[in-house]
Chains A and B, each alone.
Chain A
Amino acid sequence: MKKRMLCLLLAVALCMTLFSACGGDSSSENNSGSKAESSEAGASESGEGSSEASAGETGNGVDLSKKSHLIMWSPGTPSRDHNRIVEKLSALTERDLNASLEWNRFQDTAKLNLLLTSGEPIDLIYTANYQNYAVYAAKDAFRPLDEFLPEISPALDQYVTGEMWDAARVNGTIYMVPCMWPEWVPYGFLWREDLRKKYNLPEITDDISTIEAYMEGIKQNEPDMQVTGEVVSTYGSIGSHFTTWEFLDRKYKWADFRVPYGLYIDYQDPTKVIDWWETEEFASDMKMFKSWADAGYWSRSSLANTENKQDAFEAGKTACDLAFNSPSGYANLVSRVAASHPDWELGWQPHYRVKNLATPNHATQNGMSIPNSANEPERGLLLLEKLVLDEEYFRLSQYGEEGVDYNVTEDGYYEAVGDSTTAGFPREAGSLWSTRNTEFMLYPEATAQILNELNSEFETYTYPNIWTGFAEDTTPYQSEKAALANVITEYLPPIQAGLVDDVDAAIAEFLEKAKVAGLDKIREEYKRQWLAYVEEHNIQPTTVK
């Protein structure tokens, strides 16, 4: 009876396979179908369809006569009044593109992966290098835009300049429309200036000993406070890291501190790639962190702490942050603190300033792509054009409804209606960072001043970003990378947090385990790909003053 059962089960499974295979085939048929459609649309002559006010701007031959539905995804959690804004936006798209709009959010990369893997119909989606843009692009998740963009939207094509456009290439083809807004997002040392003055601690300069003095001063004088609340993070690294790692960006003139697999790419000579984890500098940096951990600057339980660093700082629990992210972050923090703790004074020292080398965000830091599963790729692209280039769309999607969510002051600054607890759609609540447009952007007054100051400073020592556009192809070492990620997560953060007894022994053990997981193979392949990239894009050695 058992045997018969097994046979029957197999038979059932077999027919289900056939059943689903049919389903699988039809979806790939749909893909080729829509591709044929778009080339047809491109080939047809005049712009037909219902009259739209912007008929001249929409590009050629996109048929807008049939009412349809657009689906857009961006990261984050929807704010309280998200639905209201989507409704308003949908009214606009119905007017101009004859399509209603659905705007959904994804909370993490797992959800993003599920969306793309399941082939869900999505017409426009946020992509970024830190969200595996290169990996998905290499695996054909997105529609190629090389010819599609100029054909459907010449306006957008004009807007995206050559350099940024080229930087989004993966294996020679472009799969995303990059964000054109220039941004410098260094980490930096954040401290309480009022406390520094109170205890007569030395001014914070490029010299790291001033930072040590500050931390020691806080430790002595404020026993109830924790000096700094460094935690474990997974952003931007293979596996996880301890946030002290981000502090090291001030010290080295490397292509980027996020270069993975323990490699160091020299900014001044991009063909030079060093195995950094094995070096003396790395060991001495880790020993420095150990001395700080031993001095008690961060909790011994930091590895398990899931508290948000900024929350802790704002609540007055910590006195500094070794790696606080970005000028706009700092500007926002200043305005928040002005409201909640008027007696505080803050200081922020961006790492770029210390090493006199600023690199702007790479083009692929924020972008929009059109997945191959899109039902309406043409209108999706037109929607993107509107979001970036049409002020009405821009204002609505980024800031909400004027008068309800925000106001524009006489000087052209952004002013929120109500405060952060009453706001139903705060500024940039839609997380549409990839449609930012310098021309239309509005800043709150306080933020604007700080941002302008910092940005003009960075301008004086900025150099082109050579690394973040590098599209790493992980397929040759996918398994090793997964294995290595686990090794890194287990062994590296304790070392970076200085919570090990013997730094050299810990590093040796870590490297041993990493090599078992395949570190050497990965490094070799990565270096090969990187050098090929350097040659292809003709990246020259730069002297940093």
Chain B
Amino acid sequence: MSGKTASAGTSPQPEQKKEKGRFRKELKTNKVLFIMLIPATLYFFVNNYLPIVGIYFAFTKFNFSGGLFGSPFCGMENFRFLWESGKLTMLTVNTICYNIAFILCGNVLQIVCAILLSRIGGKYFRKITQSVMFLPYFVSYVILNVIVYNLFNYDVGFLNGVIRSIGGAPFDAYNTPGVWPVLMVIFYLWKQVGYGTVIYLATITSIDPELYEAAEIDGATVFQQIRYITVPLLLPTFITLLLFSLGSIMKGQFDLFYQVVGNNGVLYSVTDIMDTFVYRSLKQDFDVGMSTAAGLYQSVFGFIVIMVTNTLIKRSHPEQALF
């Protein structure tokens, strides 16, 4: 971090004099290490930290000739559209709930798949199914929408075709908001299951086989082995993945919701998330101030969530905590 400050060219704060001495010493002994950090420093500085300045957009009334710093300051004005629609609570709840459902269901399913796959004997079965489960990752949500529409639409949908052929009354999916939270989770799982399973599978294969052998000898069943050996050893992975996902708790799977729900207002009360709401609001008068304001809200929210979660994790698994 001090390496970063050095490359940005500031002079150290007065209170850092002791740091500075230590820093110089560190620099001398580990010069090469600092040099090896330069690519990362450069990358994150340019790609992530420099644009953070743009947060100021959220507080200006953007004018094209003024640009970022020339536009007049307007305080919290840009945030008004968020709560004026009366929807901020609903959106926050929707976004968070969906993300929690995605994270939990996603990870649980991936862990289960990884465990099952690791124990299956048939080599070809394993290879083929793993490849098949990975396929949806390559299919964009645009295609998924086409498929979903063809499955669920009222007149010629696949689902209703099957229902009608067995004599039932067709199901009007697109006008029934209630089923959609479940459906969205299913679509998300469909797309992500293969990808996440790889991570857990890799971790499982690094578990020392002697542990399993010892448990065998002690007479443990497969289920017991899983419960007492595999799952606890997967926990650190799960927590790390969790922490990475939580930072984006207020940002949604924009692609998924925008493509599948689209402009179907009937479903908005249960499927509208922050990202789609902001996108639609600003579609005509794309105002950079308002969109940045929304993004800032999401970031701040995510930051608070991380801080809280980190404090909780510190209690049970201190080595997994962030700081």
Which chain A residues have a beta carbon within 8 Å of chain B's beta carbons? 2, 4-5, 7-8, 11-13, 15-17, 19-21, 24-25, 27-28, 31, 109-110, 113-114, 116-117, 119, 132, 135-136, 139-141, 226, 232, 234, 238-240, 299-301, 303-306, 372, 474-475, 478-483, 485-487, 489-494, 499, 513, 516-518
Contact = CB atoms under 8 A, between A and B. Distances in A.
A60 to B, nearest CB: 27
A13 B4 CA distance: 12
Given A13-B49, A117-B286, A487-B85, 14 more contacts: A4-B16, A11-B5, A15-B8, A16-B8, A16-B49, A113-B288, A119-B64, A300-B175, A372-B65, A479-B290, A482-B281, A486-B281, A491-B265, A517-B84
B277 interface: yes
B254 interface: no
Contacts of B221: none
B290 A482 contact: yes
A180 B311 CA distance: 66
Q: In this complex, which of B4, B68, B263, B282 has the most chain A Cβ atoms within 10 angstroms of its Cβ?
A: B263
A223 to B, nearest CB: 11
Contacts of A489: 263, 265, 268, 280
A474 B285 CA distance: 9
13 contacts: A5-B1, A11-B10, A12-B49, A24-B69, A25-B69, A234-B283, A301-B154, A483-B281, A489-B265, A490-B265, A490-B268, A491-B265, A516-B86
Contacts, number: 183
Tier of interface size on chain B: 35 or more
A478 B289 CA distance: 11
A305 B69 CA distance: 43
A483 B68 contact: no
A482 B285 contact: yes
Contacts of B161: none
3 nearest interchain CB pairs? Answer: A113-B286, A483-B85, A490-B265
B81 A483 contact: yes
B68 A109 contact: no
Interface string B46-70: 0001101100100001111111111
The SS class assigned to the A binding surface is: helix
Contact of A139 (B56, B62, B323): B62
Q: In this complex, which of B13, B283, B290 has the most chain A Cβ atoms within 10 angstroms of its Cβ?
A: B283
B174 interface: yes
A110 B279 CA distance: 9
Q: In this complex, which of B52, B80, B85, B268 has the most chain A Cβ atoms within 10 angstroms of its Cβ?
A: B85
Contacts of A21: 69
Interface stretch (B145-153, B200-208, B238-246): B145-153
The SS class assigned to the B binding surface is: helix
B265 A493 contact: yes
Contacts of B263: 232, 234, 240, 303, 489, 493
Nearest to B261: A304
A305 B265 contact: no
A494 B86 contact: no
A139 B60 CA distance: 13
A510 to B, nearest CB: 10
Contacts of A513: 86
Contacts of A234: 263, 283
B10 A15 contact: yes
B213 interface: no
Nearest to A371: B64
B157 interface: yes
Nearest to A232: B263
Given A4-B15, A16-B52, A110 B286 contact: yes
A303 B281 contact: no
B284 interface: yes
A119 B66 CA distance: 10
Q: In this complex, which of B69, B155, B286, B288 has the most chain A Cβ atoms within 10 angstroms of its Cβ?
A: B286
A84 to B, nearest CB: 29
A2 B321 CA distance: 14
B53 A13 contact: yes
A479 B1 contact: no
B153 A305 contact: yes
B172 A15 contact: no
Interface in B264-323: 264-266, 268-269, 277, 280-288, 290, 323
Interface string B146-174: 10010011110100000000000000111
A228 to B, nearest CB: 13
A372 B263 CA distance: 34
Q: In this complex, which of B152, B265, B268, B277 has the most chain A Cβ atoms within 10 angstroms of its Cβ?
A: B265
Given A478-B285, A483-B281, A494 B266 contact: yes
B81 A482 contact: yes
B138 to A, nearest CB: 21
A299 B154 contact: yes
Nearest to B152: A301
Contacts of B261: 304
A226 B265 contact: no
Interface string B22-35: 00000000000000
B21 interface: no
Given A119-B67, A303-B266, A486 B10 contact: no
Contacts of A8: 1-2, 5, 13, 16
A131 B256 CA distance: 26
B84 A478 contact: no
Q: In this complex, which of A4, A139, A499 has the most chain B Cβ atoms within 10 angstroms of its Cβ?
A: A139
B247 interface: no
Contact of A305 (B65, B149, B268): B149
A100 B27 CA distance: 51
Contact of A486 (B1, B87, B323): B87
B50 to A, nearest CB: 6
A114 B80 CA distance: 22
Contacts of B219: none
A116 B264 CA distance: 30
A136 B81 CA distance: 20
A372 B49 CA distance: 29
A132 B174 contact: no
Given A13-B52, A486-B85, A140 B64 contact: yes
A486 B266 CA distance: 12
A485 B284 contact: yes
A480 B154 contact: no
B20 to A, nearest CB: 12
B285 A15 contact: no
Contact of A109 (B81, B172, B286, B287): B286
A232 B86 CA distance: 24
A4 B264 CA distance: 49
A20 B50 contact: yes
A517 B86 contact: yes
Given A7-B13, A12-B4, A479 B77 contact: yes
Contact of A494 (B13, B152, B265): B265
A12 B45 CA distance: 10
A301 B18 CA distance: 69
B53 A31 contact: no
B181 interface: no
